[in-house]
Amino acid sequence: MEGPPGVLRALAVFAAVRLVGVALVLVVDACAGRPFGKSLAHAWDSVWYLHIAEHGYGTTLRISSSGAVQTDWAFFPLYPALIRAVSGLLHVSGGQAGLLIAWGSAVLAAYGIYAIGHHLYGGTVATALVALWAVLPQSVVLTLAYTEPLFTACAAWSLYAVLQRRWLAAGSLALLAGLARPNGIAAAVAVAATAVHEVVRRRARVSPALLTGTLIGPLGWAGYVLWVGTRTGDLFHGYLHVQSAWDSRLDLAAGPLRFLESMPWQGTVTYPVAMIVVVAGILSFCLLCLDRAPLPLVVFAGVLLLLVVAVSGPSSCKPRFLLPAFPLLIPPARALARGWRPGPSSRARLLCGGLTTVFLLYGAYLATLAGQAP
């Protein structure tokens, strides 16, 4: 089946930007005297995923300062399972398998994002959407052995299937998204909300495919959460207790205030950047709603944004948690596409090139030198 027109050009832009990002991370690692590729495959959360892939679940870590006991049950199972499978199939190391999965998933995610953009707004907006997603300050995560590329790929194609009213495919991909990350439930909520809207507002027939797709969507997320509950002895709250040991807890009232109070305004640039990204996400969500974007995109982005704002946790990680919320980029992508016609001026080219350079350098800093998990 042929892809939408212009997809190869958009994917080429995406690949070029991210390859430059990989090169910058490797150069900084080399200058810092680290082993080749350490920051790409063996840093922060990557270490936990690789350990799960090799040894299974059950590792704990006691934090001496607080006494909290962190367990690897906080990490969802799809990515480490794929690492184990790819590592055994291709006879490569866990780190290499993790990068292959992350990079392949990033390309699939970019393809899905382009397909959605092209379906709704045409090729120019779709290309701008992919380009913006590639150059976001937090997009360095797309080149690391992290789960965001895998989650975004599953979610993007699930949303595309919803737009095509292919309910079984949408629900199946939402199930996989829910197995990839804790916020993967956003895909299932988007599928369910759209299905309810179809039945209630449009009086659509409740077909077996619609019902099945809606019901299977949350099974991946719910299944893992309940499994952790059985391991902890608290079926419905066990996973919440596991996350609280990682300083991640739902706090609708005080979450935004704690985000600001915990932010050190001196000595690091990551926290002010995190605040700017979150505020920009809130503003973009308002524009997305005003543009009357399709319901599944609004719901998906809204759930991810709500989790970022309402769940306490490391402030420096919040931009990463927003990375899969690509619908938030639709308003700026449409504005960029309008300003780019009939052709980009030299000033526009210079501005875009300068911002891309700054964001890529910041991404390399975030992955290698920042001292906080990206």
Nearest to 323 by CA among 171, 189, 134: 134
CA distances from 52 to 71, 72, 261 (A): 11, 8, 34
Domain assignment of residue 38, yes or no: yes
Q: Is the pLDDT of residue 2 over 70?
A: no
Q: What is the mean pLDDT of the chain?
A: 90
Domain assignment of residue 282, yes or no: yes
From CA 216, how far away is CA 341, in angstroms rounded? 43
SS3 call for 250: strand
Domain assignment of residue 362, yes or no: yes
Contact, 293 vs 327, CB < 8 A?
A: yes
From CA 19, how far away is CA 25, in angstroms rounded? 10
Domain assignment of residue 2, yes or no: no
Type of residue numbered 312: S
Q: What is the pLDDT of residues 113-142, one digit of tens each?
A: 999 999 999 999 999 999 999 999 899 999
Q: What is the pLDDT of residues 267-276, one digit of tens each?
A: 578 888 888 9
**What is the reported pLDDT for 346?**
67
83-87 mean pLDDT: 97
Which is more confident, 298 or 314? 298
Confidence band for 286, pLDDT divided at 50, 70 and 90: very high
CA-CA-CA-CA dihedral for 191, 192, 198, 204, to nearest 10? 110
Rounded to two decimals, the pTM is 0.94
Contact, 57 vs 212, CB < 8 A?
A: no
**What is the reported pLDDT for 262?**
56
- The helix or strand, by DSSP H or E, that contains position 60, with its residue range, turns out to be strand 60-62
Domain assignment of residue 373, yes or no: no
Structure tokens at 343: 């052709």
Domain assignment of residue 1, yes or no: no
Q: Is the pLDDT of residue 75 over 60?
A: yes
Longest dimension (CA), the chain: 63
223-246 mean pLDDT: 92
Q: Is the pLDDT of residue 348 over 70?
A: no
From CA 192, how far away is CA 209, in angstroms rounded? 13
**What is the reported pLDDT for 257?**
57
Domain assignment of residue 374, yes or no: no
Q: Is the pLDDT of residue 347 over 90?
A: no
φ, ψ for residue 3, nearest 5 deg: -80, 170
**What is the reported pLDDT for 256?**
54
Alpha-helical segments (H) within the chain: 7-31, 38-41, 45-55, 78-90, 94-121, 123-135, 148-163, 167-180, 185-200, 208-216, 219-232, 238-244, 255-261, 270-290, 295-310, 318-322, 330-340, 346-368
Q: How many domains does the chain have?
A: 1
**What is the reported pLDDT for 43?**
86
Confidence band for 264, pLDDT divided at 50, 70 and 90: low
From CA 302, how far away is CA 68, in angstroms rounded? 31
**What is the reported pLDDT for 354?**
87
How many C-beta neighbours within 10 Å does residue 2 have?
5
176-199 mean pLDDT: 96
Q: Residue 168's domain spans which residues? A: 7-368
Residue bearing tokens 């911002």 = 355
Q: Is the pLDDT of residue 300 over 80?
A: yes
| DSSP symbol at 153 | H
325-343 mean pLDDT: 87
